[in-house]
Structure 1
């Protein structure tokens, strides 16, 4: 049950409009038009109760009109109450999860829930669990292959970021592997933030064979920016030195990228390895400290707005019956 803790007006200056009808009546010239009504002598009018009825009707219209005006102005001022909110967990860290969507992610050499699965499906499942556990970080999501794409900018809404993984599909941004460009885009997003700690988690299952940026050059830029890069080398086969086979993972380059920035590298050959790697990152980059709670507002303007509507309707009704 919510408890009210403080009243506020979203636009208190609107209350300055309250005396406007009174000022208009005092300052504007009176209507000089002469009506064609027949003036009835007071004695005759009183004998028939006309004077009293007219006075009551006029007073009722005036009261209803003022109630409508006051209620309308209060509604426009935006009355609301602040509701108590739980403190939000925060770490002061921005974390960009940068994932490979190249063609090799379609290979079915992983297992998920006891069944053979594509690398892509294993990655999406484990990455979603990892992201949901990052309450306290601002987490962003990047996909890369031939091109790079910001799927989700850094956000505290880790549930929404995790759900964005559902739209991942091989071929969405090409089929090659631009590791350097993927890291470069992550750095561009982090350069615009003021987080105390900035981290990139980069996963690849291949070798850099696309894009314009050399992975180690971008890693050196990350070091200059103070961004720590953790890399995950995914796939059952390592690339031998000097071999350009795109079907294997370049563990050596990924390890050098992490070492340059002070991060860690994880060699992943199974789904269990991938889960263990994500768990290790969770330990290296801890979560859960408390920040001041964000205010939550309950808007109250519909109530005076409804009162203004009914008061205006009552004014019209009294005018109609009063002739």
Structure 2
């Protein structure tokens, strides 16, 4: 019991401790207020209820003491509530890296092809990317991550945020056809760079400013060749280099332009490798689900270096309790006044 009380007192804090100086204010006011002038005339009108109470033998003095006690309790509770009592509890330290990561994901029609496997079943490329990508995003607690999807058009599916769970759900909810069925690699990467290069506060939620000393990274995943959009992927890669943004590229699919064997809409491995080389990133080739898992782990390691951030204390406000007590005292005084 004693240890619990000690722990409570050690966590107790006041937001505005100087407010407690108001406690003796009524006494000070009563002392400084001028007394009524001598010789003043006055009359005392005694309510019938008091006369009846006196007749029943009730103590008027006792009722007066109770009223005084209620008034002082009301005042003390108000002052304590104004002081802002609270408990300061330590929070668990989260990993922090200061990195900003934008994922640009191909959502063209070829992502429907069922040539990957999950849990022993053949699934579409998109289903495999959703599973592995969502796991990767959730592991990046402490990073600020966003998601761009692209096909004919490009769209920010999840604005950059430290809320990795929300970004992961946005990836899991992605559906083919939302932005067309072609492959606009240049536009998709360009939109990702735009969000990474945005000035602090622009396009970001409250409290989502750029971390100091941050490293900016784009992850570009595609299973096709650039055949839509207004920009050339190499030009966008050159812009990324100027901005100091590293791009990791993931070429998805069993076949590519070098061994297409007549298959349409195969991945342009060389173009994706050029983007990674120009920006100082790294290119990955993915033909199976296991390859995709290995790539996610590799990027996780390459962009590691996370450490525990200083814990941010959590404050639990206690002022509603004295405020409620003051309200009850006021109600009791009002009820007593009406009763008389």
TM-score range relative to shorter protein: 0.7 to 0.9
1:67 to 63, 73, 79: 73
Matched residue, 1:277:
295
Matched residue, 1:319:
337
Deviation at 1:245, TM superposition (A): 7.9
Matched residue, 1:110:
116
1:238 to 256, 260, 273: 256
Report the 3-state secondary structure (helix = DSSP H, G, I; strand = E; otherwise coil) of the residue aligned with 2:141.
Answer: coil
Report the 3-state secondary structure (helix = DSSP H, G, I; strand = E; otherwise coil) of the residue aligned with 2:217.
Answer: strand
Matched residue, 2:284:
266
Give CA-to-partner distance per residue, 1:40-80, whole Å, 9 cap, x none: 9xxx99x9697x83333233223313322332343344321
- Cα distance in structure 1, aligned partners of 2:22 and 2:108: 62
Higher mean C-alpha displacement, 302-311 vs 150-159: 150-159
Structure 1 pair 115/14, CA: closer, same or farther in 2 (3 Å)?
same
Higher mean C-alpha displacement, 181-190 vs 111-120: 181-190
Structure 1 pair 246/8, CA: closer, same or farther in 2 (3 Å)?
farther
- Cα distance in structure 2, aligned partners of 1:186 and 1:268: 22
Q: Contact conserved, 2:90 with 2:312, CA < 8 A, in 1?
A: no
Give CA-to-partner distance per residue, 1:215-235, whole Å, 9 cap, x none: 111111111111110000111
Deviation at 1:211, TM superposition (A): 1.9
Give CA-to-partner distance per residue, 1:272-323, whole Å, 9 cap, x none: 11111111111211143121112211121221122112222322333344x1
Matched residue, 1:173:
179
Q: Which runs of 5+ in 1 are unaligned?
A: none
Matched residue, 1:213:
231
Matched residue, 1:37:
45
Matched residue, 1:225:
243
Deviation at 1:121, TM superposition (A): 0.3
Question: How many residues in Structure 1 have an aligned counterpart in Structure 2?
Answer: 313
Report the 3-state secondary structure (helix = DSSP H, G, I; strand = E; otherwise coil) of the residue aligned with 2:59.
Answer: helix
2:189 to 183, 186, 200: 183
- Cα distance in structure 2, aligned partners of 1:19 and 1:215: 74
Q: Which runs of 5+ in 2 are unaligned?
A: 37-41, 200-209
- Cα distance in structure 1, aligned partners of 2:47 and 2:88: 57
- Cα distance in structure 1, aligned partners of 2:60 and 2:313: 51
Structure-to-structure mapping, 1:58-97, within 5 angstroms: 58-97=64-103
Higher mean C-alpha displacement, 266-275 vs 302-311: 302-311
Report the 3-state secondary structure (helix = DSSP H, G, I; strand = E; otherwise coil) of the residue aligned with 2:194.
Answer: helix
Higher mean C-alpha displacement, 285-294 vs 262-271: 285-294
Structure 1 pair 65/137, CA: closer, same or farther in 2 (3 Å)?
same
2:318 to 291, 300, 306: 300
- Cα distance in structure 1, aligned partners of 2:26 and 2:190: 62
Report the 3-state secondary structure (helix = DSSP H, G, I; strand = E; otherwise coil) of the residue aligned with 1:208.
Answer: coil
Q: Contact conserved, 2:216 with 2:246, CA < 8 A, in 1?
A: yes
Structure 1 pair 49/23, CA: closer, same or farther in 2 (3 Å)?
farther
Structure 1 pair 222/298, CA: closer, same or farther in 2 (3 Å)?
same
Structure 1 pair 69/189, CA: closer, same or farther in 2 (3 Å)?
farther
CA RMSD of aligned residues (A): 3.5
Q: Contact conserved, 1:136 with 1:287, CA < 8 A, in 2?
A: no
- Cα distance in structure 2, aligned partners of 1:188 and 1:23: 63
TM-score by length of 2: 0.79
